[in-house]
Structure 1
Amino acid sequence: MVGFSKALAASLALFSGATAFPFSASKRQTLAIDDISKQAYANALKVLNGSISDGLTRKTECNPNTVAIRKEYGDLTTDERKEYIRAVKCILGKPSQLPAGKYPGAKSRYDDFVVVHMNMTPSVHSTANFMHWHRYYIWAYETALRTECDYKGYQPYWNWAKYTNFPSSPIFDGSETSMGGNGEAVSHKSGMPGTPAGPGGGCVKTGPFANLTIHLGPLMPTMDPALNIPKNPRTDGFGDNPRCLRRDVNNYYITNWMKPTDLAAQITGTTTIGKFQDTLQNGFSTSQALHSSGHFSIWGDPGGDVYVSPAEPVFWLHHGQLDRHWWMWANYQADQIKTRVSMYEGGTNWMNPNSARGKATDPQWLDVVTPPGTAGTQSNQLFSTTSGPFCYLYQ
Structure 2
Amino acid sequence: MAGTTVIKALVAALCFTGASAWPFSKRQTLTLATVQKQALDNALKVLDGTLSDGLTNRLSTCNKNTVAVRKEYGDLSKDERKEYIRAVQCILKAPSKLSASKYPGAKSRYDDFTVVHMNMTPSVHATANFMHWHRYYIWAYETALRTECDYKGYQPYWDWSKYPDLVNSPIFNGDEWSMGGNGDPVQHTGMQLGTSKIPAGPGGGCVTKGPLANITIHLGPLMSTMDPKLGIKNNPRTDGYGDNPRCHRRDVNNFFSKDYLKPSDLLKQLTSSADIKTFQDTLQSATSAGALHVGGHFSIWGDPGGDVYVSPNEPAFWLHHGQLDRHWWMWSLYQEKEITKRTSQYDGATNWMQPNGPKGKATDPQWLNVVAPPGKEGIASKEFFSTTAGPFCYVYQ
* SS of alignment partner, residue 323 of structure 1: helix
Select the residue among 274, 282, 285 that pairs with 2:285: 282
> What's 2:368 paired with?
366
Q: Does 1:376 align with 2:378?
A: yes
Q: Deviations over 1:42-92 (max 9, x none)?
A: 000001001100111311110012100000000000110000000001001
> What's 1:217 paired with?
220
* SS of alignment partner, residue 395 of structure 2: strand
Map 1:137-152; keep pairs closer than 5 Å: 137-152=137-152
**Contact conserved, 1:124 with 1:133, CA < 8 A, in 2?**
yes
Q: Deviations over 1:160-195 (max 9, x none)?
A: 000111011000010111000000011110133611
- TM-superposed deviation, 1:354: 2.2
- The separation in 1 between residues aligned to 2:160 and 2:52, in whole angstroms, is 30
Q: One-letter code of the match for 1:47?
A: V
Select the residue among 247, 265, 272 that pairs with 1:269: 272
Q: One-letter code of the match for 2:39?
A: A
- TM-superposed deviation, 1:374: 1.0
1:30–1:220: structure 2 CA closer, same or farther, 3 Å change rule?
Answer: farther
Q: TM-score under structure 2 normalisation?
A: 0.91
> What's 1:196 paired with?
199
> What's 2:95 paired with?
95
- The separation in 2 between residues aligned to 1:60 and 1:355, in whole angstroms, is 38
Which stretch shows the higher mean deviation, 212-221 or 186-195? Answer: 186-195
- The separation in 1 between residues aligned to 2:29 and 2:223, in whole angstroms, is 38
> What's 2:80 paired with?
80
RMSD of Structure 2 on Structure 1 (CA): 1.3
> What's 2:260 paired with?
257
* SS of alignment partner, residue 303 of structure 2: coil
1:264–1:124: structure 2 CA closer, same or farther, 3 Å change rule?
Answer: same
Q: Deviations over 1:13-47 (max 9, x none)?
A: xxxxxxxxxxxxxxxx9621111001000000001
* SS of alignment partner, residue 264 of structure 1: helix
- The separation in 2 between residues aligned to 1:204 and 1:152, in whole angstroms, is 27
Higher RCO, 1 vs 2 (CA within 8 Å, ≥6 residues apart): 1
Q: TM-score under structure 1 normalisation?
A: 0.91
- TM-superposed deviation, 1:375: 1.1
- TM-superposed deviation, 1:283: 7.7
- The separation in 2 between residues aligned to 1:375 and 1:264, in whole angstroms, is 34
* SS of alignment partner, residue 199 of structure 2: coil
- TM-superposed deviation, 1:100: 2.6
Map 1:1-395; keep pairs closer than 5 Å: 31-56=30-55, 57-192=57-192, 194-282=197-285, 288-395=290-397
**Contact conserved, 1:94 with 1:109, CA < 8 A, in 2?**
yes
- The separation in 2 between residues aligned to 1:283 and 1:41, in whole angstroms, is 30
- The separation in 2 between residues aligned to 1:353 and 1:43, in whole angstroms, is 34
- The separation in 1 between residues aligned to 2:221 and 2:72, in whole angstroms, is 29
**Contact conserved, 1:283 with 1:290, CA < 8 A, in 2?**
no
Q: One-letter code of the match for 2:360?
A: G
**Contact conserved, 2:182 with 2:207, CA < 8 A, in 1?**
yes
> What's 2:9 paired with?
none
Q: One-letter code of the match for 1:86?
A: R
* SS of alignment partner, residue 192 of structure 1: strand
- TM-superposed deviation, 1:302: 0.3
> What's 1:14 paired with?
none
Q: One-letter code of the match for 1:190?
A: G
- The separation in 2 between residues aligned to 1:371 and 1:284, in whole angstroms, is 34
- The separation in 2 between residues aligned to 1:92 and 1:84, in whole angstroms, is 12
Q: Which 5+ residue runs of structure 2 have no aligned equivalent? A: 1-27
Q: Deviations over 1:188-234 (max 9, x none)?
A: 10133611110000000100111110000000000011101111001
- TM-superposed deviation, 1:144: 0.2
Q: Deviations over 1:103-140 (max 9, x none)?
A: 01000000000000000000000000000000000000
- The separation in 2 between residues aligned to 1:324 and 1:379, in whole angstroms, is 17
> What's 1:24 paired with?
none
Identity level (%) = 70
Q: Deviations over 1:329-361 (max 9, x none)?
A: 000001100110000000000011222100000
* SS of alignment partner, residue 40 of structure 1: helix
- The separation in 2 between residues aligned to 1:195 and 1:358, in whole angstroms, is 34
- The separation in 1 between residues aligned to 2:386 and 2:33, in whole angstroms, is 21
Q: Deviations over 1:350-388 (max 9, x none)?
A: 011222100000000000001111111000000000000
**Contact conserved, 1:192 with 1:222, CA < 8 A, in 2?**
no
**Contact conserved, 2:100 with 2:106, CA < 8 A, in 1?**
no
